[in-house]
Structure 1
């Protein structure tokens, strides 16, 4: 059996899951204002391994959320993942944070826009189809009333930016799924297993999180 440990620490949510053949069987997570990742992460890993009834030697790979997101959160998650990969001699898988956030939206038609807060009106965003194919590259951008005007499809916005973006993004085809706030290791399971089957691994020694710090101001096309 291929067991994969998934680690998500890119936002205020610290999340760990164990997946078996791409299906989540255990998940431990918490979202706190104080960013308790450093204290919680290794406890969650131990608890998840125990709850799954396996040992570290049963793990086939470690998957980590690669960003964009919190600098400190990403460093904590990647450091833990690298350490485990080194110790166990298993591969490291990097999962797009925004794609795993988008995976929580179950839609049949339209597009999914995952957005993570980056202070003021700045966000990290991307656009995915209902089956999680990329329709627009990840951007660090300042949200204005002209953002996403090029899309005619229904756009489903997910992430922790709803509060500050709803008053700006007001087109009729814009829908906010308020219940989906932070990415979770649960949704990493299928994505990491797909990469595992394709041998899509990253170099344990040289891999760095995707911080995406530069911001782009969207201007009107009118």
Structure 2
């Protein structure tokens, strides 16, 4: 009914996503006493994040939807992270993008809906710290660049480090009810930045972003 969390499984893995996902999905269903026929909507985080993880996760979700004829709704990983807080202020989710950068966004709650203030994008930590001075920060990017963000007055700490499934589902239901399902074949990951670049190119990219 979109109101109760039946079961949530959280794990951290650097590899093996494609072999783990089917096992976890059917384990969750079996443990909860449900099957795929009981599922009304597939929610999937579309990034930004790990290029390989996003591709595998979205591909798996699409496969489930295609086989079982289920609607799909993609939600920004940063929006999912921001959805963990329900506050009357700007919320700045920030995720570690590796190689000295962060993925950052800005969201706020308006009439029960979590709205995006500006497009998710790639930032230097110092740049995003200045932008986020008027709101609350959360995410593993804050922990990764703790010294940079230490001057920010409002920081939500654990468990607000990572996008969580129950927030993803809640936001996907809201967006689905307002916008309808996403097109199964045109839904793509939100990479924001190109794949990892050589270290010698970092300084060049940093000069462009300043």
Residue in structure 1 matched with residue 36 of structure 2 by the alignment: 56
Residue in structure 1 matched with residue 12 of structure 2 by the alignment: 31
SS of alignment partner, residue 115 of structure 1? strand
Give the gaps of 5 or more residues in structure 2: 195-204
* Higher strand proportion: 1
Contact 1:162/1:178 (8 A) holds in 2: no
Q: How does 1:142-157 map to 2 (within 5 A)?
A: 142-144=124-126, 146-150=127-131, 153=134, 155-157=135-137
Residue in structure 2 matched with residue 208 of structure 1 by the alignment: 188
Give the gaps of 5 or more residues in structure 1: 1-19
* Higher helix proportion: 2
SS of alignment partner, residue 105 of structure 1? coil
Q: CA deviation at 1:72?
A: 0.8
Q: CA deviation at 1:150?
A: 4.8
Residue in structure 2 matched with residue 85 of structure 1 by the alignment: 65
TM-score with structure 2 setting the length: 0.82
1:135 aligns with 2:117: yes
CA distance in 2, matches of 1:150, 1:158: 14
Distance 1:199 1:59, change over 3 A: farther
Which of 105, 110, 113 is the equivalent residue of 1:126? 105
SS of alignment partner, residue 63 of structure 1? strand
Contact 2:80/2:171 (8 A) holds in 1: yes
CA distance in 1, matches of 2:4, 2:105: 25
CA distance in 1, matches of 2:120, 2:187: 19
TM-score with structure 1 setting the length: 0.78
Q: CA deviation at 1:78?
A: 0.8
1:159 aligns with 2:139: yes
CA distance in 2, matches of 1:168, 1:177: 15
Contact 1:69/1:211 (8 A) holds in 2: yes
Distance 1:178 1:82, change over 3 A: same
